[in-house]
Amino acid sequence: MFSSVRVVASVIRSDHKAVVEFAEHQRLAGKTKTVKLNRKVKPTQHAVFLQHICTVRLDDAECPDSDTQTQFDTPTDTALHLLNKSYPERAIAVTSRNPNCITTGTPKNRLMRSG
């Protein structure tokens, strides 16, 4: 009925042992690494963004002869360009062995060293 049965000794002093049964062969999970994208946000970046957004004119980019889809895409493309220019994306590696409290916005080294 089970593909794998193991008897495990107790970690504390006891006369009992645990029986662990698996319906399928369980592969031991190794360390998996996931790369996430993150935008670091600082007050100086906000100031630069606000300075730059004052100079942007959206009505200059519109062309009355363009199709409807282009007219909808133009403000979105402009907003994404401003976002990428002011708050660039950075790749952060998060592994399966990191605690759950570590996310893409958490400074990993400082948190791990603090215990």
pTM attached to this predicted model? 0.47
**Over its length of 115 residues, how does the chain's per-residue pLDDT go in tens digits?**
667 788 888 878 888 888 888 777 556 667 888 888 888 888 888 888 888 888 877 665 556 667 888 888 888 888 888 888 888 888 888 887 776 666 655 555 665 566 5
| Residue 114 is assigned to a structural domain of this protein | no
Tally of domains within the chain = 1
CA distances from 14 to 8, 9, 10, 11, 18 (A): 12, 9, 7, 8, 11
- 91, part of any domain: yes
In a domain, 37, yes or no: yes
Domain, as residue range, for 103: 4-108
Alpha-carbon span 78 to 70, nearest angstrom? 12
CA nearest neighbour of 29 among 95, 93, 80, 107: 95
Instruction: Please report whether residue 75 resides in a domain.
Output: yes
Q: Is residue 22 situated within a structural domain? A: yes
- For residue 115, being part of any structural domain is answered with no
Is residue 12 included in any domain, yes or no? Answer: yes
